[in-house]
Chains A and B, each alone.
Chain A
Amino acid sequence: MQLELKMEQGTLVVRPAGELDLGIAEDFRNALDEVLDQGAVKNLIFNLSRVTFIDSSGLGVMLGRYKRITRTGGQVAVIGPQPQVRRILELSGLFQIMNEFRNEEEALAKIS
């Protein structure tokens, strides 16, 4: 899968691209957990602007990382979901627990 990861002042910025389904769920989860295991990540930002499809497997990976981050007092933010992805996030109730921001800068300023 296509995935960019960037650390900014204790916040891990995650930029996946393409379709977040069962086909990539394991790679996605492992890539994130590898960084989280190092213990330096406080908050997480999911930039979904290049994600064209998501289903319960992609959501499951996001929610699992949310649980890890919030256990240590961190926050998780979402940026830029395309309309079809936004609908799935809304239906799943994910926006009730993750704040959405207009862009990465705004998210970094608000949660760091």
Chain B
Amino acid sequence: MQLINQMKVEFLSIPANVAFARVAVASFASQLDYTLSDMEEIKVAVSEAVSNAIIHGYENASDKFVRVVASLTKNALQISVEDDGRGIEDIKQALQPAFSTNPERMGLGFVFMQSFMDSFQVDSAPGCGTRVKMVKKVSTLVEQGSQVSPEH
């Protein structure tokens, strides 16, 4: 599909930037016709991926960089969230619901990303960082202007 717009941002791995990232991506995505609930889902997915980069990728170090790329086609948003952190040893295990390497956490991040986005992919290797790629399509179930007007 043809790209119609693209955004790249890079920011420090500090907790306050999680809100920044989700708002930046959501406001970029508002160029397409997403529903309010689509927008909420995009925000949660970005929030989870960026939080993971900070918490797990960089183990809460605050002097590293997280990269977010958002690309728009006519009817979809692709988001990539990347860190240069420790990477994931066993991706299949990491993707299992409720799996977490941190006893304080619930292992829900990947569950939310997968259930809220139309496609989802993780590339990672120990010591080589992690990249999460997600796609959200614009739903086209209701065609605008196709409503039949009531007869009198």
Kindly state the separation between the CA atoms of A22 and B109 in the bound complex, as whole angstroms: 12
Q: A residues within 8 A CB of B80?
A: none
Contact B115 A23 (CB under 8 A): no
**The stretch of B40-48, B70-78, B124-132, B142-150 that contacts the partner chain:** B40-48
Q: Interface stretch among A2-10, A40-48, A52-60, A103-111?
A: A52-60
A55 to chain B: closest residue by CB = B47
Interface size on B, residues (CB 8 A): 21
Q: How large is the interface on A (under 10, 10 to 19, 20 to 34, 35 or more residues)?
A: 10 to 19
Residues of A within 8 A of B (CB): 19, 21-23, 25-26, 53, 55-57, 59-60, 63-64, 84, 87-88, 91-92
Query: A88 touching B18 by the CB < 8 A rule?
Result: no
Chain B residues packing against A (C-beta within 8 Å): 15-16, 18-19, 37, 40, 43-44, 47-48, 51, 54-55, 104-106, 108-109, 111-112, 115
B48 CB contacts on chain A under 8 angstroms: 55-56
The smallest C-beta distance from B22 to any residue of chain A, in angstroms, reads: 8
